[in-house]
Amino acid sequence: NAGVMQNPRHLVRRRGQEARLRCSPMKGHSHVYWYRQLPEEGLKFMVYLQKENIIDESGMPKERFSAEFPKEGPSILRIQQVVRGDSAAYFCASSPNSGNTIYFGEGSWLTVV
C-alpha cells in the first residue's frame, strides 16, 4: 500500500511565477490536508479537502493560494505570483475520515529565488 505521494519533491521558482504542488492520498483515503512548514518552525494548517469539496480553508492566505481535490486525480496546491516568503516545505497528509490519524507525504520543498 503506497503512502501519500507528493511531487515535485523540490521546486525552484522565480518571484512572480506559479508553483503547483501535487498530492495523491493513500489508497482508501478521501480526506486530504495541506500543511506548511517554514524553516525551523512547526506545521501550520492550511486547508482540508475531500473529493470536490473544500471543508476548511481557514489557514490559507487570502490571496495567491488555492487548493483543489478533483473527482479524478491528485489534490493540487497552487501558489500564484510566488514571493520569497513562500519558500517552505509543504506537506500533504491524508486520512480515511475526519478527526483521525493523518499520514504525511514526504513533502514538497519550494524555494523562491
Selected binder of another protein within 48, 65, 69, 90 (CB under 8 A): 48
**Which part of the chain contacts another protein (CB under 8 A), choosing from 20-28, 65-73, 75-83, 100-108?**
100-108
Among residue numbers 58 through 97, which ones bind another protein (CB under 8 A)?
58, 91
Give DSSP secondary structure letters for 36-70.
EE-TT--EEEEEEEETTEEEE-TTS-SSSEEEE--
Helix (H, G, I), strand (E, B) or coil at 84: helix
Largest CA distance in the chain: 38
Residues that bind another protein (CB under 8 A): 33, 35, 41-45, 48, 55-56, 58, 91, 98-107
